[in-house]
A and B are shown apart, each in its own frame.
Chain A
Amino acid sequence: DGGITQSPKYLFRKEGQNVTLSCEQNLNHDAMYWYRQDPGQGLRLIYYSQIVNDFQKGDIAEGYSVSREKKESFPLTVTSAQKNPTAFYLCATKDRGLPNEKLFFGSGTQLSVL
């Protein structure tokens, strides 16, 4: 059953705490992405990775970090430097050679601050 698994579905962060959102895929896609979705705003790109051990900043990378040690996994860490982390986070993947709109999306993680 191929797809993208994001966990947890809901996550709560305390002030000053780092939290990590998981994104795992078994689609064998090379590229992986993290988007942030806020109410009344479109999706905004945080980070993306075209290949293992390489990743690039998106439009709103400040306060976030990522790693890409395995093709299947692209975890996103929301650090304490991110002052407004409450949002819905979507992970996406894309097969090599396909245009950027051909993204497969996960079901997301809702992050809230306690």
Chain B
Amino acid sequence: AQTVTQSQPEMSVQEAETVTLSCTYDTSESDYYLFWYKQPPSRQMILVIRQEAYKQQNATENRFSVNFQKAAKSFSLKISDSQLGDAAMYFCAYRSEIQTGANNLFFGTGTRLTVIP
């Protein structure tokens, strides 16, 4: 099974500043997808951003962008102009293109982001 590693259990950022959350993964596949999910205090998981492995261009969604380094198997999330509402747990996830069924989505252990006013 693929493994997804988030080496930063906790991070903090000043409001309006930029923060980068790290994620690495291990796979032998060439076609796959990577995601960042946000889990706010309400505890509902929300899909933040999505990256296809075959695309070299890094995905962006407003203040959220990724740095996808396929050779290094690295997928970091950059949050610009941090807002208080960005405070949450962030999970990196991997989806296999080869494996079918619901078991093809793998989550990292999460990074808790605190935003300091």
Contact = CB atoms under 8 A, between A and B. Distances in A.
B59 interface: no
Contact of A40 (B9, B102, B103): B9
Q: Top 5 nearest A-B pairs by Cβ distance?
A: A42-B107, A105-B45, A48-B102, A43-B107, A108-B43
B42 interface: yes
Interface string A30-42: 0101000000111
A90 B45 contact: yes
Interface in B72-117: 91, 93, 95, 101-110
Interface residues of B, number: 24
Contacts of A99: 33, 95
Contact of A42 (B46, B101, B102, B108): B108
Interface of A: 31, 33, 40-45, 48, 50, 56, 58-59, 88, 90, 92, 99-103, 105-108
B102 A58 contact: yes
B33 A101 contact: yes
Nearest to A44: B107
A33 B44 contact: no
B4 interface: yes
A101 B35 contact: yes
Interface in B4-20: 4, 9
